[in-house]
Structure 1
Amino acid sequence: MDLVNKLMQEGHQCGMNWSGALEPYEMPSGNDWKTQDTFMMERLGIDVVKKMRPGFIFAIFDRGADRQYSDFKSGMDNFFGIPGQGLLCDTVERSPRGCVENIMYKVNVKFGGNNNQLTENTLNSLKLLHRLFMVVGISLSHGKTKDDKAKCSYAGFVGSMDDSFLRWSTETASVVSNEALLPDISGQMERLLQTYKENVGNFPEVMAVYRDGVTHTHENELHGNDILCLRKTFTKLGITVELVLIVVNMMHRTRFFRKPNADSMGEPIYSKDNIPPGLIVDDVVVDPFGDDFYLASHRGLLGTSRPIRYHILNQRRYDQHYA
């Protein structure tokens, strides 16, 4: 119940109105998880959902219970229609700094809330382009599971729907397990563009695509894959778009630290604080032949901050006649 109290306390501080927590429900484990024809998730629906009528469900799983977690997500999203959040038992017991706050961020999003908002100055700076601007994010999820039946990879797509960057449309696609390159994504991109046009009135003139899930060795292969699919989409819709494709990568070993100060004897004094958020490094340690930079976009709560590497792979204007 200590976790429940922490969640309720953090929720109240974030402006969430909690009407009260129900008693924990312990589910069977091991071989009892699946009977001959009935999943334990269905029993959970009978014993908990129908009787207690919760508005949100937290489920705590032991490490390695991948199938249980998969069934929980599927049951909550597709069968019961109740938002839920799965947690690892190890995480709950250790309760590292920032853990409860991070959980509440996810809960807020699942209730339709907004965790981040661009400042008025930032929005105005984007509008100074005097052009219709769209942002697209593409990410891959390979999953970490020992269950061969549950192994699969998925690609998620999000696209801004207007110039407020607060409303986003989504698309998904299944891909070959553990593959960094995507299949033909023309259909997903076309639907995102059509959604943008329905809300704004026209197709975007500038599109910034942030691509995740690609290692440094596979970045150049995106020219014959993602960029080619985007060009096909622009040609099909008969539009002219300035495309900026940025590869986002956290799988690197580059770290930055604050410059040490000197004491009275001239000896360096190293700070234990992380680098400040907003730090950009675009010289000395970057690729001399590429267009990349490192950005520390947020404050590190635990451990050493890992800056994100951004590589501007493409910045070119495409129209329906581009060959």
Structure 2
Amino acid sequence: MVLGVDVSHASPGVESPSMASMVMSIDQNACRYAAAVETNGYKVEMLTRANINKFLDRLLPAFRKGTTIHQPQHVYYFRDGVSEGQFAQVIEYEVNEMKERLRVDGVVPKFTVIVATKRHHIRFFPDRSCADKNGNPLPGTLVERDVTHPFHWDFYLCSHLAIQGTARPVHYHVILDEANCQPNELQRMIYEQCYMYARSTTAVSLHPAVYYAHLASSRARAHDSVPQGGSDDAGYGSRALAGSGDVRDSAPLRPMGAEEDAHRDNIVFFPGTMWYI
């Protein structure tokens, strides 16, 4: 099973809740991903316990239906948008809570947790003999020494062909590997799956699970129960409370489809599709 998670936040000064999304592979080759979205408090980066349980409850039936696997044995968990100071929180809060939820079904799978980061200042300039016409690294270029962490398992991967400008590699940081994956096999899997992004006929720069999670969290704002920029009376709280680090409950998103009987089939159908692309 491949999971991708992203949490998007509102612009500074906008009283709008954070949007969390989780995508889950629902076929044998991890080509199709179902997505679940929900509000995640205000400026809260870690998934809440309620959202983790809600997301898995929604997505696991689609995984079992599409793969005929009742319980996954190995989970690749791609996380976007966290800094190095939050790596421990991802394992402590998110991964452990997922294990608790999956333990209810009888089996706790092994987790391989990978954080994908594009917000860095590392660029690579290869020799002209092994570069493209713009001087960027060729797709598939992997850097795993000299500019990486001396002790952690991290690497930079240039998986796409930049049309113009300087290509930005993606920094993948493996913060947990309970399945003892071979580095070459894991790196090759990530690179090859970059060719499976549904919106592109060529390889993309980021693993599709992370891309899809980002798209889903962005689309989630269209389902917000309260118009963005609403007043305090609409449940958004005061700006003073938001600035003081107050953690508030956010109103849940509108469900997909209407509540009328004529649309009940759509409510069941859409969560198992790639509606966010």
Partner amino acid, structure 2, of 1:277 = P
- CA distances 1:208-234 after superposition (whole Å, capped 9, x unpaired): 110001112211221211111111122
Change (3 A) 1:178 1:299: farther
How do 1:290-309 residues align onto structure 2 when only pairs under 5 Å count? Answer: 290-309=152-171
TM-score after normalising by structure 2: 0.58
Other-structure match for 2:25: 160
Other-structure match for 2:274: none
- CA distances 1:276-316 after superposition (whole Å, capped 9, x unpaired): 11111111111111111111121112321111111111111
TM-score after normalising by structure 1: 0.50
- 2:137 pairs with one of 275, 280, 288: 275
Partner amino acid, structure 1, of 2:151 = F
Partner amino acid, structure 1, of 2:123 = R
Matched, 1:173 2:38: yes
Other-structure match for 1:104: none
Aligned-residue offset at 1:243: 1.2
1-structure distance, mates of 2:57, 2:99: 11
Contact 1:194 1:203 in 2 (8 A): no
The count of residues paired between Structure 1 and Structure 2 equals 174
2-structure distance, mates of 1:306, 1:176: 31
Unaligned residue ranges in structure 1 (runs of 5+): 1-133, 262-270, 318-323
RMSD: 2.1
1-structure distance, mates of 2:66, 2:126: 45
Contact 2:26 2:67 in 1 (8 A): yes
How do 1:1-323 residues align onto structure 2 when only pairs under 5 Å count? Answer: 134-144=1-11, 148-149=14-15, 151-184=16-49, 185-201=52-68, 202-259=70-127, 272-316=134-178
- CA distances 1:103-129 after superposition (whole Å, capped 9, x unpaired): xxxxxxxxxxxxxxxxxxxxxxxxxxx
Which of the pair has the greater relative contact order for Cα pairs under 8 Å at 6+ separation? 2
1-structure distance, mates of 2:74, 2:41: 30
Contact 1:140 1:213 in 2 (8 A): yes
2-structure distance, mates of 1:225, 1:240: 16
2-structure distance, mates of 1:199, 1:186: 20
Contact 1:205 1:240 in 2 (8 A): yes
Aligned-residue offset at 1:145: 6.4
Moved over 4 A (4+): none
Other-structure match for 2:270: none
Aligned-residue offset at 1:260: 5.3
